[in-house]
Amino acid sequence: MSLALLKKALRSYASSARKKTNEWFFKTGIGQYGHGDKFVGVSDPDSRTVARQFSNLPFTEIKKLLQSKIHEERATALKILVRKFEVGDERVKKRVYDFYLNNFSRVNNWDLVDGSAPKIAGVYLLKHPKEAHILGVYAQSKNLWERRLSMIATSAFIRNNEFTWTMKNAKVLLLDSHELTHKAVGWMLREVWKREHKIVEDFLIENYKQVPRTTLRYAIEKMDEKKRQRFLKGF
């Protein structure tokens, strides 16, 4: 598997129209969270197609791909890692997990976190709960993307009806200043609510004055309209 061939394959799907769309969608303007990120104009499905074709790319080459300034190349590297994790035995899963965290500085936009954190970190930590304390560490990180991981990775726990880390980190992140964190917290609270209404509703009532409006709107999105209005109006 050649890294040069992968990059060539990826660029075969690129378009100038998609490039402009991606630059706008991922907020690459001055002062925005994605400032400085570079795009060539490849869609997520096309990135996934290339990742499947190059799923046997060795870790040394994946690391080089993750170092790329091109967003779609980093995204493809992460899709390859997810694939290796999903089909690998326990030894491979451990290697992918360690590699992922050791190179997490390159997972530096919300889509990169969301597409990899639940499928690698979340699934691994669900099966290795003694190591799950890293989620609490990341919730208090100064790095926006580590804080987002601390919530999004818990979706793997939620699917297993385990809510402790989601609720614990939601509490820690209530005073976070970034809207992307507010959205992540609200999203995961909504996912918990789908399975256990009372836990989330009690949490929102208890912490109502601290809950960012964005977090609240995400969390209550699936409630019936009467209950939703009660939360929006503060009871």
Is residue 112 a part of any domain in this protein? yes
Instruction: Report how far residue 74's alpha carbon sits from residue 34's, in angstroms, rounded to the nearest whole number.
Output: 14
Q: Quick one: pLDDT at residue 234? A: 87
How confident is the model over 45-80, as pLDDT tens digits? 999 999 999 999 999 999 999 999 999 999 999 999
> Strand runs (DSSP E) across the chain, as ranges?
none
Q: What is the CATH number of the domain that holds 76?
A: 1.25.10.90
Is residue 180 a part of any domain in this protein? no
Is residue 185 a part of any domain in this protein? no
Is residue 53 a part of any domain in this protein? yes
- Which structural domain range is residue 71 located in? 1-116
Is residue 93 a part of any domain in this protein? yes
- Residue 38 backbone dihedrals phi, psi, to 5 degrees: -110, 140
Is residue 209 a part of any domain in this protein? no
Instruction: Report how far residue 222's alpha carbon sits from residue 231's, in angstroms, rounded to the nearest whole number.
Output: 12
Contact between residue 216 and residue 186 where contact means Cβ atoms under 8 Å apart: yes
Is residue 88 a part of any domain in this protein? yes
Give yes or no for residue 1 having a pLDDT over 90: no
Beta bridge partners of 38: 70
How confident is the model over 146-180, as pLDDT tens digits? 999 999 999 999 999 999 999 999 999 999 999 99
Give yes or no for residue 235 having a pLDDT over 90: no
| Domain count within the chain | 1
Instruction: Report how far residue 87's alpha carbon sits from residue 136's, in angstroms, rounded to the nearest whole number.
Output: 28
Is residue 190 a part of any domain in this protein? no
